[in-house]
């Protein structure tokens, strides 16, 4: 077989120059690529596109092996294992209809229409059957047929969900479709897939949940089985251990245990009730944010909760975002409850004539917004229907855009360091549904990209995921478990200033359009607090803890001294609780530790005699006798906000 191996690429690329077409598998075999181990090819990349190993490669093509080290390999594996799971389910539960089964960030899922609910025992049976399929090394065989023929095939298989998908593809102009056969299971799929099922031995089925077909609450409720897969048993074991730790840190569980917040179906899904400690935690974060923004030249503003619907039409939200909005009527006029804060800020800008000397104008609002989220996506604090954004809109001249974006990124860096957060950044470009000219989008995208590059900040391009009015940089936090969370954003907008006729007078006395930067740092406060709870496992740093000190008495004879300490600490601005109950000290200490309170002060007869407190940390059994003054100094040092030191 005639081929050339380009050895300076990693992994090596094969330049196919033979006279006849050959499969990628044949090509790799002839090139002597490994048949086992981490370098064993599981797919191929031809002309930058990943294809199956059984795909035929035309002469003259450059072919690159894709093995388990490739960034896209895990996605291919998990998608393939979802097919293995579907094959097992169809075999074990005749009559079950299959819907869709993609890979997702943490694994995969598949949706099934089953007359009976899957149980934990069923998951065990499915897992056992999947292991049999894996051990059989079944090939993934791709076929392409006309869409019309595919409809008839899946009708014959009594698979209505597949038929619906194909009919929608036909409506969108598709004439050919592909499907994959694995054993006796046939699935509509674009691929690619691993070469055979033997790659998929390290998997675990995790849970079952309900999911509406196509996310539509008016469509059938399906059963979604979640799972995950890795290329090695070790990687799977590490992930499952991480998953167990994540369960312990679940903010919904800790939120209840620490008395921070609650959500009640009687009130409504996605509507959070903040308890005293949770509301105090919010207040501390809000004060921190106001301080950080005021010292960086922002003006604090507030806008109304509802605005006339015609304004949302003018902005484009009615055309591009109305399914996420709530509406009401007043005196025969339609109003919308705001899903964003930008409109009010534009009216503040337009409340007077602006000169270039007035810019940049930075308006900051902790603005509560409402969004119509579907019930199936609601999740604790991280996906709610009412939340508060740390929203800002910066109005600046075109020449100021780069510096203002960099200032925002500096603010993000400083504030995330306060919480020990690392973060990644993505530059999201123009989506299919959008407003504005190509020229404006190009300028906005280049402004964001230029700011990132000037700071030497690493970033990835996220094609087509910008806001409908402009491109954006998304901030993705990394928590203590290495999980990624979407929070802050900075968006560059040339369009809304045009629609709302925003102007400033330039140095040449000519009217010019300002550029509008939309940005958040934490994003949703609710979401950010949920992330913080899990990041710290509920054990907040001293400056952030709703209760910083708890005072415990051993005997009633110590009550007076404990009350004296409590009163003086409160006067100094510390957050204090006192427990004078007639309970055993060990019980009181356990309670305080479960509440994750940073400092415990214990008072007994000896402390009364010496006017001291026995001080212990929540994380240690060691104690130290300290006077009120000495402990106050210690607490003052511990309670400093890191970024203010």
Kindly list the catalytic residues. 342, 371, 389, 391, 393, 472, 518
| E strands present in 24-118 | 43-46, 49-51, 56-57, 62-66, 97-98, 103-104, 107-113
For residue 307, the surrounding DSSP H or E stretch is: strand 306-308
Picking from 427, 362, 429, the residue whose alpha carbon sits closest to that of residue 400 is 362
Strands 299-300 and 361-370: parallel
Which residue is listed with tokens 């045009």?
A: 498
**Structure token pair of residue 597:** 């309170």
**Structure token pair of residue 240:** 């499952």
Q: Sort 117 into a burial class: Cβ within 10 Å, 0-12 / 13-18 / 19+.
A: exposed
Q: What are phi and psi of 296, to 5 degrees?
A: -110, 15
Which residue is listed with tokens 């897969």?
A: 229
**CA–CA separation, 412 and 611 (whole Å):** 45
Q: What are phi and psi of 358, to 5 degrees?
A: -80, -10
Q: How many helices (H) and strands (E) does the chain have?
A: 19, 35
Q: Are 370 and 338 in contact (CB under 8 A)?
A: yes
Picking from 113, 104, 74, 134, the residue whose alpha carbon sits closest to that of residue 206 is 104
Q: Are 450 and 462 in contact (CB under 8 A)?
A: no
Picking from 330, 329, 89, 52, the residue whose alpha carbon sits closest to that of residue 208 is 89
C-alpha neighbours within 13 Å on the C-beta side of residue 227: 30
Query: 104 forms bridges with which residues in the sheet?
Result: 107
What is the radius of gyration, based on Cα positions, of the chain? 30
Contacts of 167 (CB under 8 A, 6+ apart): 151
């Amino acid at each position: 077989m005639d081929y050339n191996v380009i050895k300076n690429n990693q992994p090596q690329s094969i330049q196919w120059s033979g006279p006849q077409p050959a499969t990628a598998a044949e090509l790799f075999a002839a090139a002597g690529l490994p048949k086992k181990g981490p370098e064993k090819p599981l797919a191929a990349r031809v002309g930058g596109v990943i294809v199956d190993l059984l795909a035929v490669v035309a002469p003259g093509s450059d072919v690159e092996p894709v093995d388990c080290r490739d960034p896209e390999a895990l996605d291919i594996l998990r998608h393939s294992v979802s097919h293995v799971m579907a094959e097992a389910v169809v075999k074990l539960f005749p009559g079950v209809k299959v819907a869709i089964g993609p890979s997702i960030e943490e694994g995969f899922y598949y949706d099934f229409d089953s007359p009976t609910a899957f149980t934990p025992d069923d998951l065990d049976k499915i897992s056992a059957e999947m292991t049999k399929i894996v051990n059989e090394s079944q090939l993934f065989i791709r076929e392409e047929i006309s869409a019309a023929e595919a409809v008839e095939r899946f009708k014959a298989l009594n698979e209505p969900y597949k038929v619906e998908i194909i009919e929608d593809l036909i409506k969108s102009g598709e004439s050919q479709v592909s499907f994959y056969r694995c054993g006796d299971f046939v699935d509509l799929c674009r691929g690619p897939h691993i070469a055979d099922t033997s790659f998929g031995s390290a998997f675990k089925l995790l849970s079952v949940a309900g999911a509406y077909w196509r996310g539509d609450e008016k469509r059938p409720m399906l059963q979604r089985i979640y799972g995950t897969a890795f290329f090695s048993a070790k990687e799977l074991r590490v992930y499952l251990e991480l998953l167990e730790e994540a369960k312990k840190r679940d903010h919904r569980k800790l939120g209840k245990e620490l008395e921070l917040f609650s959500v009640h179906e009687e009130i409504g899904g996605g509507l959070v009730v903040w308890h005293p400690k949770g509301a105090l935690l919010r207040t501390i974060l809000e004060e921190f944010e106001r301080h950080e923004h005021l010292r960086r030249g922002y003006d604090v503003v507030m806008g109304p909760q509802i605005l006339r619907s015609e304004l949302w039409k003018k902005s484009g939200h009615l055309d591009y975002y109305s399914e996420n909005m709530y509406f009401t009527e007043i005196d025969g006029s339609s109003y919308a409850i705001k899903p964003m804060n930008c409109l009010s800020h534009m009216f503040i800008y337009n409340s007077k004539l602006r000169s270039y000397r007035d810019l940049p104008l930075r308006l900051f609002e902790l603005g509560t917004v409402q969004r119509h989220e579907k019930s199936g996506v609601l999740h604790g604090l991280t996906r709610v229907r009412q939340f508060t954004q740390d929203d800002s809109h910066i109005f600046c001249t075109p020449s100021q855009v780069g510096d203002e974006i960099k200032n925002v990124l500096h603010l993000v860096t400083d504030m995330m360091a306060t919480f020990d957060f690392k973060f990644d950044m993505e530059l999201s470009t123009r989506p299919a549904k959008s407003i504005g000219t190509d020229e404006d989008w190009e300028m906005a995208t280049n402004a964001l990209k230029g700011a990132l590059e000037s700071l030497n900040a690493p970033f990835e391009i996220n094609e087509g995921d910008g806001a409908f009015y402009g491109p954006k940089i998304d901030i993705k936090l990394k928590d203590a478990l290495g999980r990624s969370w979407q929070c802050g954003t900075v968006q560059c907008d040339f369009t809304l200033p045009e629609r709302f006729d925003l102007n400033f007078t330039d140095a040449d006395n000519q009217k010019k359009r300002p550029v509008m930067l939309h940005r958040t740092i934490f994003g949703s406060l609710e979401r950010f607090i949920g992330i913080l709870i899990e990041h710290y496992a509920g054990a907040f740093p001293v400056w952030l803890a709703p209760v910083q000190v708890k005072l415990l008495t051993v005997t009633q004879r110590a009550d007076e001294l404990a009350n004296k300490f409590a009163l003086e600490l409160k006067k100094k601005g510390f957050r204090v609780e006192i427990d004078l109950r007639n309970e055993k000290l060990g019980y009181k200490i356990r309670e305080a530790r479960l509440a994750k309170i940073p400092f415990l002060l214990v008072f007994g007869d000896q402390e009364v005699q010496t006017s001291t407190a026995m001080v212990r940390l929540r994380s240690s059994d060691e104690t130290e006798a300290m006077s009120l003054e000495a402990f106050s100094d210690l607490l003052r040092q511990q309670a400093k906000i890191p970024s203010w030191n």
